[in-house]
Each structure stands twice: as C-alpha cells, then as structure tokens.
C-alpha cells in the first residue's frame, strides 16, 4: 500500500472515533502544546484558569486564553478528553490550517511551504507527522506526498478533499 493510501486510511479510521472540536478550542489546545507543556500540565492550567505561564512559551502569546476556554465551556466541547485522546476539527478553513502547521511544527507559509489557492504545497513533514495531521483534519482535507517533477522527498500537499 502506498504512503498516500496509508495516511488516508489512518486518518479516516481515527477521525471517526475522535472528539470533534471547533477552531477556537482546537487552536487553544494546539497553542498550549506549542509551548512544550504536557497534556497534564495544560489540563491543570486550564482547569485552574491559570494562564500566566502560557504567553512566555507559546507560539501565539497574544491569544485570549480565557476567552477561548470560556468558548470551550459554553459549547460543551470535551476539550480535556480531546487533549488526551486526540480530536478532529469540525470545520477547518485554510487560514486555520496554516495556524495549525505553525503551532504543531513551527512552519510558516512562504518560508517553509507555499500556498496555491486552497492547496498547501511542499509542506515538510515526517510520515508520522503527516499521519497525525491527517487524523486531525480528516473531515475535509487530504494530506498526500508531493508527486511529480521537482517534488522533494518528505514534502506533502494538503488540499481540500471535496471541491465544486
């Protein structure tokens, strides 16, 4: 089975069982993780509503942590279970996908990869990172190894699954 099929199948299987989160809540968790905090540390900080350690370590220190956490509570999203077991996004627009790549991998558009309309091309990921990303964005995005002339090994194309 090709890498492409393996990544797609893993994403599809795990996407069905995972908690589904809104963009604000998923980005809160990803930004917290970008600071190198463990899932237990993140859960403890959020449950205590103590956001004081976050701005000095996360990739987006200006995020309104209290507001994002209030959104999670208002929407009844099981963020703590999602943190520990994994999640998928209910919906994810291309701008949020770029932020996800920044939070998880420190990747920036035009520096590390290019955006071609709704496709992200040349995204440098390991196979494991691509599989984890696919499992998180499985509902509408496909992560595929770059193909064709000039494609570099270890780079991926991320594009919408369904287009009009």
Q: In terms of domains, do 14 and 52 share one?
A: no
Residue reference for tokens 């194309």: 157
Whole-structure pTM value: 0.87
Tens-place pLDDT, residues 80-90: 999 999 999 99
Q: In terms of domains, do 126 and 69 share one?
A: no
Task: Give the domain range for residue 28.
Answer: 19-85
Could you tell me the sign of the dihedral formed by the alpha carbons of 81, 43, 98, 111, in that order? Answer: negative
Q: Is residue 98 part of a domain?
A: no
User: Who contacts 52 (Cβ-Cβ below 8 Å, separation ≥6)?
Assistant: none
Last residue of a domain, one of 68, 85, 102: 85
Q: Is 153 left (phi over 0), alpha (psi -120 to 50) or beta?
A: beta
- Split into its structural domains, the chain has a count of 2
Q: In terms of domains, do 7 and 32 share one?
A: no
For the chain, how far is it from start to end, CA to CA, in angstroms?
29
Q: In terms of domains, do 53 and 24 share one?
A: yes
Tens-place pLDDT, residues 37-52: 999 999 999 999 999 9
Q: Is residue 92 part of a domain?
A: no
Q: Is 91 left (phi over 0), alpha (psi -120 to 50) or beta?
A: beta
Query: What is the rounded average pLDDT of the residues 130-158?
Result: 93
């Amino acid at each position: 089975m090709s890498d492409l099929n393996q990544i797609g199948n893993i994403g599809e299987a795990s996407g069905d069982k995972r908690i589904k989160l809104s963009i604000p809540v998923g980005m809160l968790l990803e930004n917290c993780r970008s600071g190198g905090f463990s899932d237990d540390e993140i859960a403890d900080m959020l449950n205590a509503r103590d956001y004081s350690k976050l701005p000095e370590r996360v990739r987006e220190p200006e995020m309104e942590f209290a507001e994002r956490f209030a959104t999670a509570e208002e929407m009844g999203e099981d963020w703590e279970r999602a943190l520990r077991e994994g999640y998928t996004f209910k919906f994810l627009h291309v701008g949020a996908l770029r932020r996800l790549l920044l939070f998880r991998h420190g990747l920036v558009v035009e520096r590390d990869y290019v955006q071609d309309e709704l496709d992200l091309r040349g995204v440098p990921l390991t196979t494991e990172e691509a599989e984890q990303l696919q499992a998180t964005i499985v509902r509408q995005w496909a992560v595929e190894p770059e193909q064709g002339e000039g494609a570099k090994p270890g780079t991926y194309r991320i594009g919408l699954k369904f287009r009009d």
